[in-house]
Structure 1
Amino acid sequence: MTEHTHISSDTYERELFTKEEKFNVLINYSPSDACFLDEIDQMIDEQAEDSWLRTNFNFIKSDMDRESIQGKLHFAKDAKPKTIMAFKFPSKERYLMDTSSMEITRESLTQFLKSILDGKAVRYIGRETRHENDEYSPEMKHLKSIVYDTFDEIVMDSKKDVFVALCFNETLEGNFISTMAKILQNEPNLVIGRMNSAYNDYSLEYFPKEKYFPKLTFFSAANKTPIIGDAYVNDECITAKQLLTWIHESCTHKFDMEKYLEQVTQYDELAALIDECKLAVWKVENNLHSIRSILPDYKHPAEEFSIPLKELVKGEDKSKMKELLEKIKSVSLQDMIDLLEQYKAGKTIHLKADETVDSYYLERYEKVIVDFTATWCGPCQAIAPLFGYLSSIEQDIIFLKVDADECQEQCKAFNVDGFPTFKSFKGKNMVQVIIGSDLKGLKKMVENLH
């Protein structure tokens, strides 16, 4: 269960995520506000044992030069030793402040941020433990593990062509990259490796600056200037054949690419089939999930085939996958789609572009639930039928939908930047906030207004 307590209309929003009776606290911090770290202890529950606070910061060194530092600040309550870690943007360099012998105050934090600007802060270097055995799993054993302390040793080896996949807490297991490493394992002058960005510092000049993972870079033996790749072509992941071609064109030590074409073609065919099967299963599960939030006992014949197909995609039985995929296609999902559209309509009210939530609804009605939504947001559409259904059975509550594209100013006015976001009001006072497609939470929100 996620509980959101609104602290101030334009400064803080607190989120408590309960897990094993511990609390993680997220504070969205406005630098222009006078409130700062001396109020934080009051916001964290006394029973919180391992609470982490994350806050965005924008620090101005002086009014003279207006030199600024932007980033995120992390620190642990009751950690041993107590530390604060600053993530500097855009470089994402990390700096540590040991607070074991000092009080965390506005002044001490200000000095810490100044020390980053002055180059005196202690920079934290992420160093994952060097792996003696790269065999994380059978699927991964052909991928060379690269960590901060072995990067130069492995990647900058002038005798080797080295392909690096920078990932974020991803194993790449079953991925086309691990498959390529397996296919090309007998090429003596080629290394295909992985590096975990969550635990290892890395140079931004070596990898794509986009947010997606994995980030792909090739370092040829003849020239260690990185050749930065793109894992996506027209929003779709590149194929194994495209990756093989890129590696062959980039490497110094050429190999016979033709002898691998049949293997990568077979892999790409299997991968395309698996993607199609996963999409079919997702459509069945997603529609059933939405309907069962309203009708718990609802059944549909497509589920008879989607459940075993979900397990089959973990293997390589293409004939069985195709058989079940065709059976799902033979069972129309239109009845589910029609039912969801019927529920989605309900008695919801759509905010017009020239209206405001405050003046048109909060001041006129006692109880209001606002759904900040977007047509392009999958989770928004998944929970929309339940929102519509609740609007049709709750006669004393106004269910208002605010579209992110049509009513951008209203989303900003209510500090909404994630969708869907639900906010309930009673007598113009906000009662509760839910961020995300939380079906049970939305039902509970309605109950809390009674």
Structure 2
Amino acid sequence: MIKPISGFSRLSKKEKIDWLAKTYLKNQPEDVAVLRQYWNEDSHLQRLHDEFTENTLSNFYLPFGLAPNFLINGDLMAIPMAIEESSVIAAASKAAKFWGTRGGFKARVIDTKKIGQVHFKYNGNKELLNRFFTSVKPKLLQAVKPITSNMEKRGGGVLDIQLKDKTAAIEAYYQLHCEFETRDSMGANFINSCLEKFAEVFENEANKDPHITSEGKTLDIIMSILSNYVPECLVRAEVSCPVEELNENKDIEGKEFAKKFIEAVKIAEVEPYRAVTHNKGIMNGIDAVVLATGNDFRAVEAGVHAYAARNGQYSSLTHAGLEDGIFKFWIEIPLALGTVGGLTSLHPLVKLAMDILQKPNAQELMKIVAVAGLAQNFAALNSLTTTGIQQGHMKMHLMNILNQHQATEEEKKVLIEYFTKNTVTHSSAVAQLKKIRSL
């Protein structure tokens, strides 16, 4: 029987691995070799990676690729992407090339407001609480001046604080709903520091006011935390062209392509089962750039999917239309991103990604990321409504199948040629590989 271990975090990396090998891996040397295989030979760089998180044993690598030829607001850009899924970078690159000759992508930031909340319970009179909040609000703003001074120099800071009554949902539940501008930083630490100071001062002032906290009336802070739902930190990206210019595929006229494409988007707008997969394809592009630039893709995912359900039903993040002979395809999406702080100044590949993107500020990065998502969705819908998704996807997936079965370079060359004219399936790839090896 395996026993709990005490003090695991204090062990050296070698000791952690030794314990793991003995306890769970039956002391298999090949398992330990895999962990060591992915250590960085540069000891300084390895120490840096080890300090990104806790109890590190090794590094988990993802491919770092590049999608070129993105014309965004008149600038030709190459977009770095970190992702393991086959065909994502190829699809994004294909969409970039397609729209590069049709005016490119247009993108603009709509707003950059971020949200944090102090959640508390109060069992007293609502009108008294409202008056108390109005009187104490200037003290709250003054209390965070030491925290906000540098941010204010960069044009950011606290935008507003509102008292919100949530007692209809939970008895005695209220919020301090706080709005922030964090400029080029994602701002999590800044926002949380401000919120905790708001909570401290708010509670202290309440306890000093006999009208608020006397005769059984209590004000209790539950928690103070930023929100990753940022529906007012919005960016829009779009493409458009005369419908006749959509005739790249010789098997389908531009008008017919537009009709099928728009119908496919409409289905994702009204059918949640389709919308989830539709939006997942968008996030293939978005997450890859967010990860490559050292941003928090989990926060982005959570906020984006909440936004997709903001009207009470999960729906498409992209939309399409045809008006006066002009085809238009667009996305509006919430993205709270940063270009300073966090991994942006620590991880060498993140720094390189920012250099590739010409050192964008946060708003510029929002535009780039939104464009990547729109391009990915266009490529997916293009395939779905014409050749089908599997033709391109499975050909890209072929290499994964061949690597799984240890195909040699010569075998790969033969099979890649074979599957240019034949449909790729896992079983057919394995069968052809066995056929080659039997000759």
> Would you say same fold, with TM above 0.5?
no
Higher RCO (C-alpha 8 Å, min separation 6): 2
* TM-score, length-scaled by structure 2: 0.23
* TM-score, length-scaled by structure 1: 0.23
Q: Which has the higher strand share?
A: 1
